[in-house]
């Protein structure tokens, strides 16, 4: 089951993730079951080896990059283990290596490999085939992400305005701890008392610890250990980035698909107009309960980059012609059960667009799946164009990478943070592209350095923004996690006291400090 010794030559891909950071390791293991995963962790524990857990390695915070020791790659744990139906809701039990794209395909076809399923799972599958179509709501850009990795960093994506992050859909976790002990954590079954917990293990041991005393920011957040009074202990492991245990299976609650999905991409004359449009839309349709599934943003520089790529790169020919003379755009997605409800929502959004200085004649409307797919391609084209640009610049300056933020602020600070980004970038002369989930006050500022001097300036600016965002009550990571690249920013967010309290929790589950070395804390 173990492989050694020449990881660098034969397994070089497993020494990196999408962050492009390069690590090093002595061993790599590919377990295919909970039993094999537990055996690998027992072996590593007996030898005091550091263990880095990997899924599909689509993360951009270097959480899957090994820092010595052993790699436990879960890409062969790819089975859907069963289904359940309870109180009219469907739940899927999946191994961590299942890819989001593969799960979506199986769910759409309602076809699964049922080998080993029990009678209850087979009955639930029959009920699923007779029920309205179901979906997993998380919508990260990389559909090649694994469900285990998405759970480990509490992923979300574009549709988080309505549906929230993965955390809200995790009903249970099967976790293998650092010493190979396996425990099932289920909502309502193991809860903290105030800010302390005791967790009974199947082998008769108990683990006990205070929880961190900090207050979680009231924003979309994927930074640090979740901590709240009387919390479910399953939430402690969601977003823990492979530092407390290895996720061996996840029970996920499914959601009925909406009957209709419509969209609109609206172009606006200024960032202030964009913010005004967002405020009107959120004022009319509250997050989480209304028909708006996504409110996404594209800066003027993002539109200009896409125009350039469309004119020079045949791969971008499929995106629509982008109108000139606008400072930004907003994509809004509507999920509704009737055409009348969708039409009413769309008309209201067009009213807001016109009131904010936009023009409905230049907006792109999508009322069919084909039209909606075209708008989705446009949204996904922005990060692709950014990566291509940086790739070209690296040819002459290999040390360059993009600097992408993942910060979010409370609703009241949207205009403040957007002005902060624009003012600082202009003052320092840094090229950038901004896009992302503006409905959650969560945009990704991609600083695009042209020189190493730009890169160093951008890193200092990133630190400054972290301090400002945390001062506004925000988070340094809303969806990508902390990994190894944002440990200093996590300390800005929670302070040394908060970091020490997180370390104390880790000490209880991983006293040798071997799991996820370098993730969350240096």
Percent of the chain residues topping a pLDDT of 90:
93
* pLDDT number for residue 6: 40
CATH, range 80-256: 3.30.465.10
Q: pLDDT band for 7, please (50, 70, 90 cuts).
A: very low
Cis peptide before 196 (omega within 30 of 0): no
Tell me, what DSSP letter sits at residue 212?
A: P
| Beta-carbon contacts of residue 109 (< 8 Å; ≥ 6 apart) | none
Residues of the chain with CATH 3.30.465.10: 80-256
What b/e readout covers 436-447, taking b as 16+ CB neighbours within 10 angstroms? bbbbbbbbbbbb
Q: At the top level of CATH, which class does the domain 260-471 belong to?
A: alpha beta
* pLDDT number for residue 4: 38
* pLDDT number for residue 399: 86
Burial of 27 (0-12, 13-18, 19+ CB in 10 A): buried
**Count of CB atoms within 10 A of residue 284's CB?**
15
Distance CA 277, CA 273 (A): 6
Distance CA 47, CA 69 (A): 10
* pLDDT number for residue 448: 96
* pLDDT number for residue 5: 34
* pLDDT number for residue 508: 98
Query: What pLDDT, in 10s, does the model give residues 364-379?
Result: 999 999 999 999 999 9
Query: What pLDDT, in 10s, does the model give residues 187-223?
Result: 999 999 999 999 999 999 999 999 999 999 999 999 9
Joined tokens for residue 122: 């087979």
H-type helices in 87-183, by residue range? 100-109, 119-130, 147-152, 160-163
* pLDDT number for residue 139: 84
Distance CA 358, CA 318 (A): 24
Local structure of 366: helix, strand or coil: strand
Torsion 180-186-188-194 (CA) sign? positive
Average pLDDT over residues 336-350: 97
Helix axes 271-284, 339-355, angle to 10 degrees: 140
Local structure of 62: helix, strand or coil: coil
Residue 343: pLDDT above 80?
Answer: yes
Joined tokens for residue 251: 């029970």
Distance CA 425, CA 428 (A): 5
Residues of the chain with CATH 3.30.43.10: 2-73
Backbone angles phi, psi at 397, to 5 degrees: -140, 85
**Spatial contact of 63 and 152, defined as CB atoms under 8 Å apart:** yes
Joined tokens for residue 340: 């009348």
Distance CA 522, CA 518 (A): 5
Distance CA 190, CA 233 (A): 6
* pLDDT number for residue 3: 36
List, in sequence order, every residue forming a beta bridge with 3; answer none if it has no partner.
28
Residue 292: pLDDT above 80?
Answer: yes
Residue 10: pLDDT above 70?
Answer: no
Of 336, 141, 185, 171, nearest to 254 (Cα)? 171
* pLDDT number for residue 141: 82
Residue 227: pLDDT above 50?
Answer: yes
* pLDDT number for residue 12: 86
Of 184, 154, 181, 182, nearest to 169 (Cα)? 154
Q: How far is CA 424 from the centre of its chain?
A: 26
The CA angle 246-249-254, to the nearest 5 degrees, is 130
Residues of the chain with CATH 3.30.70.2190: 260-471
What's the Rg (C-alpha) of the chain?
23
* pLDDT number for residue 234: 98
Q: At the top level of CATH, which class does the domain 2-73 belong to?
A: alpha beta
Q: What value does the mean pLDDT of the chain take? A: 95
Residue in the structure block whose two tokens are 């990997």: 54
Residue 8: pLDDT above 60?
Answer: no
* pLDDT number for residue 317: 92
* pLDDT number for residue 182: 97
The H-or-E segment that residue 134 falls in is strand 134-135
**Spatial contact of 310 and 317, defined as CB atoms under 8 Å apart:** yes
**Spatial contact of 508 and 209, defined as CB atoms under 8 Å apart:** yes
Burial of 408 (0-12, 13-18, 19+ CB in 10 A): buried
| Distance from the first to the final alpha carbon of the chain | 30
Local structure of 4: helix, strand or coil: coil
Query: What pLDDT, in 10s, does the model give residues 18-73?
Result: 888 899 999 899 999 999 999 999 999 999 999 999 999 999 999 999 999 999 99
> Which bin fits 180, alpha (ψ -120 to 50), beta or left (φ > 0)?
left
* pLDDT number for residue 409: 98
* pLDDT number for residue 363: 97
Distance CA 302, CA 401 (A): 17
Distance CA 315, CA 157 (A): 24
Higher pLDDT, 141 or 79: 79
Residue 1: pLDDT above 60?
Answer: no
Window from 179-193, 262-276, 313-327 with minimum mean pLDDT: 313-327
Distance CA 440, CA 482 (A): 19
Joined tokens for residue 322: 């982008």
Local structure of 404: helix, strand or coil: strand
Joined tokens for residue 129: 């085939």
What is the DSSP code string of 227-259? --TT-BTHHHHTT-TTSS-EEEEEEEE-EEPPS
* pLDDT number for residue 522: 80
**Spatial contact of 153 and 221, defined as CB atoms under 8 Å apart:** no
């Amino acid at each position: 089951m173990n492989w050694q010794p020449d990881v660098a030559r034969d397994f070089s891909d497993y020494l990196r993730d999408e962050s492009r950071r390069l690590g090093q390791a002595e061993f790599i293991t590919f377990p295919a079951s909970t039993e094999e995963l537990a055996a690998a962790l027992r072996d590593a524990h007996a030898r005091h080896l550091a263990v880095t857990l990997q899924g599909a390695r689509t993360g951009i915070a270097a959480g899957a990059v090994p820092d010595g020791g052993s790699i436990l790659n879960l890409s062969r744990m790819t089975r859907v283990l069963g289904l359940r139906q309870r109180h009219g809701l469907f739940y899927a039990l999946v191994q961590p290596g299942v890819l989001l794209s593969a799960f979506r395909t199986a769910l759409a076809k309602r076809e699964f490999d049922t080998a080993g399923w029990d009678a209850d799972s087979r009955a639930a599958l029959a009920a699923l085939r007779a029920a309205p179509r179901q979906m997993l709501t998380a919508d990260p850009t990389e559909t090649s992400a694994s469900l285990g990795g998405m759970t480990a960093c509490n992923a979300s994506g574009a549709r988080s305005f309505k549906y929230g992050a993965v955390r809200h859909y995790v009903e249970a976790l099967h976790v293998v701890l650092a010493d190979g002990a396996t425990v099932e954590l289920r909502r309502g079954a193991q809860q903290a008392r105030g800010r302390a917990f005791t967790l009974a293990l199947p082998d008769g041991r108990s683990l006990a610890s205070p929880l961190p005393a900090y207050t979680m920011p009231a924003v979309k957040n994927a930074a640090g250990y979740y901590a709240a009074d009387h919390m479910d202990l399953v939430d402690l492991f969601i977003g823990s980035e492979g530092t407390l245990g290895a996720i061996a299976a996840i029970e996920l609650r499914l959601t009925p698909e909406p009957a209709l999905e419509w969209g609109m991409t609206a172009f606006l004359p200024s960032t202030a107009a964009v913010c005004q449009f967002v405020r009107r839309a959120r004022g009319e349709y509250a997050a989480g309960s209304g028909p708006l599934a996504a409110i996404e943003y594209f800066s003027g520089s993002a539109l200009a980059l896409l125009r350039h790529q469309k004119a020079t790169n045949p791969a971008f020919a499929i995106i629509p012609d982008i109108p000139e003379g606008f400072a930004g755009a907003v994509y809004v997605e509507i999920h509704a059960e009737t055409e009348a409800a969708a039409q009413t929502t769309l008309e209201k959004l067009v009213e807001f667009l016109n009131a904010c200085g936009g023009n409905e004649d230049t907006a792109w409307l999508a009322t069919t799946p084909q039209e909606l797919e075209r708008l989705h391609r446009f949204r996904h084209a922005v990060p692709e164009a950014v990566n291509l640009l940086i790739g070209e610049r690296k040819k002459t300056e290999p040390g360059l990478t993009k600097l992408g933020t993942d910060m979010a602020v409370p609703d009241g600070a949207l205009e403040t943070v957007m002005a902060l980004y624009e003012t600082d970038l202009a003052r320092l002369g840094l090229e950038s592209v901004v896009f992302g989930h503006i409905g959650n006050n969560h945009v990704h500022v991609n600083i695009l350095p042209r020189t190493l001097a730009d890169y160093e300036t951008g890193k200092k600016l990133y630190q400054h923004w972290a301090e400002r965002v945390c001062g506004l009550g925000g988070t340094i990571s809303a969806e990508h996690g902390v990994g190894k690249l944002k440990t200093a920013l996590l300390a800005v967010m929670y302070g040394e006291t908060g970091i020490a309290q997180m370390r104390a929790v880790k000490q209880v589950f991983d006293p040798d400090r071997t799991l996820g070395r370098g993730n969350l804390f240096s």
